[in-house]
Homo-oligomer: A and B are copies of this chain.
Amino acid sequence: MAEKVTIMDVARAAGVSRQTVSNTLNSPQVVREETRRHVLEVIQRLGYRANQAARQMRTGRSRLIAIRIDPGGDGISGSVLDTFLHGLTESAARAGYRILLYTAADDRSEIATFEDLLGSYEPDAFVLTATHHDDLRTSWLLERRLPFVAFGRPWSDLPGARHSWVDVDGAAGTAAATRHLLAAGHRRIGFLGWPPGSGVGDDRRAGWARTLAEHGLPADGLSRAVEDGVESGARAARDLLAAGGEVTALVCASDSLALGALNVADALASETGHLTGRPAPGTPLPTTASETTPQTGPETTPQTGPETTPQTGPETASGMPGAVSPGRRPVAVIGFDDTPVARAVGLTSVRQPLGEAAAACVALLTRALGSAGPPVEHVLLEPSLTLRRSA
């Protein structure tokens, strides 16, 4: 096993007391410059690291942030949590925190886990995801004045339900998508979303509706509300396109719905002879300019250091057997979340700045835990549009 180096080992080696070593690390300003340097040198040499358990016992802080990981539905948008989690781990590490995972089936069992964790590992804070109407978790945490941030707005305006949150402006995302389609000449733009009641879904629909209204275009009958899923998206798209509204483009609340819609659009195109409009279903565009992310408005994203996500880079293409002759575009489709599926099938999609969101969560938490600054803060980030062949 690795030999343990305690604060006493360092103290002895440096010829000072425990407390001076502790002070050089935690309150450098009270230690004489020369002593400080010497102690730091010894710490370095011995490879000393403060034992977290002992520190926690005395200070009551674990430097642990807990977050739930869940299986994630059909998995298509599962990568969203995945990416967020990675960003969170990275940002937390920079701030001296570590991420602790737990699972829970519903609000009730999640609260039970809160109690369990608080009694044993004593995480300093929680990060909540998938907030919803009448979220039991937020009220439970608020009642006990436990520090937490939600990734997602509180979708109810109960007076006491004020807490810190970070979110991505879904409405701005669908608005940008809609504006992009308008700029491309589309005038009958439909929306595929979820049944009313989900905060996220309503928000995304609102962005589309608002933008149409701003351009003096009617939205009546151009919207469908179905459960999330590829096939329900396909059904809804068929229904909407057959309704006689002459819809030429679709904005969708998720990549799952969008993928279903895209399948329908491609099928219709091949049926009506427009097959060659796109190179081949699911094949990337032959130009390197096919994958771009234009700004969707004033970028308020805070600078959070370099994101080290290795980019695969836009795929280059050689001979495209499907691209025979240029034809008129079939129904344009835009998804939401820019999941791997979207990249794989060439679906234009709204991308959430997940790395920035994670960094913002950590920033809010550390500020709250450091007891500096206001206890309740909000950060609303702008998404961007990743353009691909589908729109």
Contacts and interface: CB of A to CB of B under 8 A. Distances in A.
Contacts of A48: 119
Q: How many chain copies?
A: 2
A345 interface: yes
Centre residue among A76, A256, A264, A282 by max chain B CB count within 10 A: A282
A146 B3 CA distance: 12
Interface stretch (A11-19, A21-29, A318-326): A318-326
A2 interface: yes
A103 interface: yes
A1 to B, nearest CB: 6
Centre residue among A103, A115, A317, A322 by max chain B CB count within 10 A: A103
Interface stretch (A157-165, A307-315, A367-375): A307-315
A2 B118 contact: yes
A271 interface: yes
A381 interface: no
Nearest to A235: B318
Interface residues of A, number: 90
Interface in A32-83: 47-54, 56-57, 62, 69-76, 78-79, 81-83
B103 A90 contact: yes
A328 interface: no
Interface in A58-114: 62, 69-76, 78-79, 81-83, 85-86, 89-90, 93, 98-103, 105
A326 to B, nearest CB: 16
A169 interface: no
Contact of A259 (B70, B146, B344): B344
A85 B101 contact: yes
Contacts of A283: 234, 263-264, 267
A277 interface: no
B121 A1 contact: no
A318 B232 CA distance: 10
Nearest to A77: B340
Contacts of A322: 267, 270-271
Nearest to A115: B47
A75 B339 contact: yes
A51 B120 contact: yes
Contacts of A90: 103
A144 interface: yes
A315 B281 contact: no
A83 B230 CA distance: 20
A153 to B, nearest CB: 24
30 contacts: A2-B146, A50-B119, A50-B120, A51-B57, A51-B120, A51-B122, A71-B308, A73-B312, A74-B340, A78-B82, A78-B340, A79-B82, A79-B340, A81-B82, A90-B103, A93-B102, A98-B101, A99-B101, A100-B101, A101-B101, A231-B315, A259-B282, A259-B344, A262-B282, A263-B280, A263-B283, A264-B321, A341-B341, A344-B345, A345-B345
Given A98-B100, A266-B281, A271-B322, 5 more contacts: A49-B116, A93-B103, A231-B315, A266-B280, A282-B345
Q: Which 9 A-B pairs have the closest CB atoms?
A: A49-B119, A75-B340, A231-B315, A267-B280, A281-B281, A267-B322, A53-B56, A99-B101, A53-B53
